Structure 1
Amino acid sequence: MTGQLVVISGLPGVGKTTAAELLASRLGLVHLSVDPVEDALLSCGLPPGEPVGIAAYEAVRAMAELNLRQRLGVVVDAVNDSAPARETWQRAAQATGAELVFVSLNIADLDAHERRLVNRDRGFSHVSEPSWEAVNRRRATYEDWPDTVLTIDAAASSPDGIADAIIRHLSNDSSARPSRNAT
């Protein structure tokens, strides 16, 4: 058995990276994020588009597997808006024998979500910050999660509260329980 693979998912601006950083810090997990890898790939002159996004997911998957095989726990943050994206992490867990736990962050209050995107700058050179319109287009095609996934309204809790909810979920053998909404 290898480490645990926790995948924090959700639309841009819901707080995935912040939650993943806190979780990694508190639990001693390796934090891997898809967006910086995509930015690095684009900095090499690759054209923006779906192939680069897929390559970023696959690069992070490979790094997750490397760490999981060393019995290190991993937390990944990525949008994961489709079954193929989510299957990336299922493959990693199957290849390493890791326990896979998906967490879905959302913001039910759309005005609060939009406010989070205003003036957001993560410092990437080649991955631009999405507009509110782009986030809403993505929301329209975002595939629903099954009931077994922990879902947290990120606007209803502080980043520390989100990390606390995930830690509680992990400590309660989350793979054996149906989902619940947490705040």
Structure 2
Amino acid sequence: MIAGFPGVGKTSVAAFLATLVDAVHLSIDAVEESLLASGFARGWQTGVATYEAVRAMAELNLHLGHVVVVDAVNDSEEARETWRRAALATGASLDFVHLVLADVADHQRRLEVRDRGFAFVTEPLWNDVLRRREEYAPWTDPVLEIDTSNHSADQVAAILEKRLALRSIS
């Protein structure tokens, strides 16, 4: 489970990691984009539905023996409980990874220049990220925190592969 604020590199790291370890990559934003494009209203209920849809897909893939890499902000205990339930239901291990970007100017720049091609999931503004920082729930689980300031996404993925010893069952 790769968590962190918008713009720290979650999706890029998750994609590299999934390729590196032959895992399934599930992105909250991609599923939310699909729900919003299908006419769901933007808001809390759609956010919960998105997490639950991704959890269901994670469980299906975990039951098949795949490593699953999920990327999501995961800023609340309720969001993190989603992944605890999936791990419990499947007997899978759960590793929380929290990506941070200590270089604040770089974080703001990355956020302001990114365009992920979504039509319905809007890119947050820097003030949105600052507000979310104030609301971000402290971690109660063990969490591996990595600063992406001085590492490319593929370098972070390689670090995670070694630290977490990830491989799919084939």
1-structure distance, mates of 2:52, 2:141? 26
Query: Which TM-score applies when normalising by structure 2?
Result: 0.94
2-structure distance, mates of 1:70, 1:147? 26
Residue in structure 2 matched with residue 128 of structure 1 by the alignment: 122
Over the aligned positions, Cα root-mean-square deviation in angstroms equals 1.2
The answer to whether the aligner puts 1:56 opposite 2:50 as a matched pair is yes
Residue in structure 1 matched with residue 40 of structure 2 by the alignment: 46
1-structure distance, mates of 2:55, 2:165? 24
Cα distance change on mapping 1:113 and 1:101 into 2, 3 Å: same
Residue 147 of structure 1 and its aligned partner are, at CA, apart by: 6.7
Quick one: which amino acid aligns to residue 52 of structure 1?
Answer: T
Gaps of 5+ in 2: none
Residue in structure 1 matched with residue 5 of structure 2 by the alignment: 11
The answer to whether the aligner puts 1:114 opposite 2:108 as a matched pair is yes
User: Match for 2:89 among 95, 100, 115?
Assistant: 95
Residue in structure 1 matched with residue 134 of structure 2 by the alignment: 140
Gaps of 5+ in 1: 1-6, 173-183
Give aligned-pair identity as a percent.
55
Residue in structure 2 matched with residue 3 of structure 1 by the alignment: none
Residue 156 of structure 1 and its aligned partner are, at CA, apart by: 2.2
Quick one: which amino acid aligns to residue 19 of structure 1?
Answer: V
How many pairs are equivalent?
A: 166
